[in-house]
């Protein structure tokens, strides 16, 4: 499942290098796909007896009903999803914001090794970035296709099924972010917890963000994962000291028979101070999905 975010436009004047670092910290990772929930790598693989699957399993949870996650894709699975993302930024008392609101249907058209091919059709899409309307009318009703890995993370670009050009405004928004879960390879039950850590470079500085995932509920229909992020910011970019923090919480409820059917609530707040400038950024994402026959 892909969640689009809006990048703050240049009309909001901030110190370039420092703002770029915070924007990447809040909305991106360095492994090829900008992400709200960052793709992880093991910090100390020797501390975890599991294969190096990108996560550290803290607790495998209840032994009564353990399941292997993620639920696999199967050809014909489909869902209708509405996604709303809102962004608010304040710099020294000046505020700016943006949003994306889209309704789409998605269908698994082909099972692939380690993932699937997904067809996406936008039924409705609108947005604005710092007060500028974003026009997407020319893509409504047009089939798009993409490949995703087992967890639903895109492994390639979204492209028009008819081979036509991708509108620049839509491509820009789709490139910005994804909400994603890193899963352990072992079967887990209710109460399971695992972590992933991303370390990436931006503007010559490194930032590390750890994400905690908790499988809080499993039943015959769905499972619920709670997400927590907390990372201090204390870096120097081009001689400018940047301090602050990134905090986020979220919940994803995923259908056990259909990984396209996902409800999400995610709230991330970031703050930073640099060169006499105070910056605050809030990102809120919600999705509501319904399986289709």
What pLDDT sits at residue 118? 94
Q: How many CB atoms lie within 10 A of CB 277?
A: 16
Residues in the chain: 293
User: DSSP 3-state helix, strand, coil percentages of the chain (rounded to 5)?
Assistant: 10, 50, 40
Mean pLDDT of the region 177-192: 80
- Residues 150 and 165: their CA atoms lie apart, in Å, by 27
Least confident piece of the model among 64-78, 94-108, 114-128, 196-210:
196-210
Mean pLDDT of the region 82-90: 88
pLDDT over threshold 70, residue 222: yes
Higher pLDDT, 51 or 290: 290
Q: How many CB atoms lie within 10 A of CB 121?
A: 17
Question: Which range, 155-159, 183-187, 198-202, 215-219, has the best average confidence (pLDDT)?
Answer: 215-219
Please give the model's pTM, rounded to 2 decimal places.
Answer: 0.79
């Amino acid at each position: 499942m892909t969640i689009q975010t809006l990048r703050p436009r240049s009309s909001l004047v901030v110190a370039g290098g420092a703002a770029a670092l915070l924007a990447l910290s809040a909305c991106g990772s360095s492994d090829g796909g900008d992400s709200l929930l960052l793709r992880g790598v093991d910090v100390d693989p020797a501390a975890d007896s599991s294969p190096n699957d990108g996560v550290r399993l803290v607790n495998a949870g209840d032994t009564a009903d353990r399941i292997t996650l993620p639920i696999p894709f199967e050809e014909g699975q489909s869902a209708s999803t509405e996604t709303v993302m809102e962004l608010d930024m304040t710099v020294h008392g000046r505020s700016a914001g943006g949003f994306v609101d889209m309704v789409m249907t998605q269908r698994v058209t082909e099972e692939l090794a380690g993932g699937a091919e997904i067809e996406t059709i936008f039924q409705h899409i609108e947005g604005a970035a710092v007060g500028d309307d974003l026009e997407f009318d020319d893509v409504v009703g047009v089939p798009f296709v993409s490949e995703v890995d087992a967890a639903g993370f895109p492994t390639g670009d979204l492209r028009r099924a008819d081979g036509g050009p991708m509108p620049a405004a839509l491509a820009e928004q789709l490139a910005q972010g994804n909400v994603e879960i890193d899963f352990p390879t072992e079967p887990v039950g209710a109460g399971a917890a695992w972590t992933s850590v991303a370390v990436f470079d931006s503007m010559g500085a490194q930032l590390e963000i750890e994400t905690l995932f908790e499988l809080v509920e499993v039943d015959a229909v769905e499972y619920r994962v709670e997400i927590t992020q907390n990372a201090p910011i204390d870096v120097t970019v081009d001689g400018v000291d940047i301090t602050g923090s990134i905090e986020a919480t979220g919940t994803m409820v995923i259908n056990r028979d259909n990984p396209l059917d996902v409800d999400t609530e995610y709230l991330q707040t970031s703050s930073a101070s640099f060169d006499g400038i105070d910056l605050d950024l809030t990102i809120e994402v919600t999705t509501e999905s319904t399986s289709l026959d």
